[in-house]
Amino acid sequence: MITIRQALPSEKASIRKQRIKSYEEHAKQIPPGHWEALKSAVSSNADEQEGVELIVAVEEGEVIGSVALFPAKLDAYTGLVDMLDYPEIRMLAVDPQARNKGAAKALINECIRRTKESGLPYIGLHTADFMEAAVRLYERLGFERMPQFDFEPANDGIIVKAYRLSVT
């Protein structure tokens, strides 16, 4: 059984390593410069900014996945996109060995629940087409495209696409 909880400070370093491991499958699909930028982003301490909630999925005492929920009006992408009026899901990662157990969906649903509790009407996220499984999951959960908030972080033709979900 998977439980969802707030990450412990002592888990942060291993969570960042797990993120890299989780995203590594994309390294061969994208240009090296884009992979380096993505790797840098998912292993960064951006999740330590004020108001960011680091949430984990735990199975049998082991962290198998994580997500960072960035609050509304925080510069989650360091100037690459306008600050948004709603929380943003970032750095969703599930250990490759623990996939297809519902951890990613449970983490997203927890972010949605927290957003609803905060009284905000929307939650957003950014992803890219090369993350096919993630895009399918987000669309299945009802996230809709918000192309006006797309950006191109590495000037290599890969667009990081914005999505938003109404939580009301």
C-alpha Rg value of the chain to the nearest Å:
15
Task: Using 50 as the pLDDT threshold, list the residues of the chain that sit under it.
Answer: none
Predicted TM-score of the model (pTM): 0.94
Tokens standing for 79? 């100037």
Give phi and psi for 131, each to the nearest 5.
-95, 65
Q: What pLDDT, on a 0 to 100 scale, did the predictor assign at position 152?
A: 87
Q: What pLDDT, on a 0 to 100 scale, did the predictor assign at position 76?
A: 55
Task: Write the DSSP symbol of residue 93.
Answer: E
Q: What pLDDT, on a 0 to 100 scale, did the predictor assign at position 4?
A: 98
pLDDT in tens, 56-94: 999 999 999 999 999 988 765 555 556 688 999 999 999
Report CA torsion sign: 52, 58, 62, 67: negative
Taken in order of first residue, the domains within the chain and their CATH numbers are 2-120 (3.40.630.30)
Q: What pLDDT, on a 0 to 100 scale, did the predictor assign at position 42?
A: 93
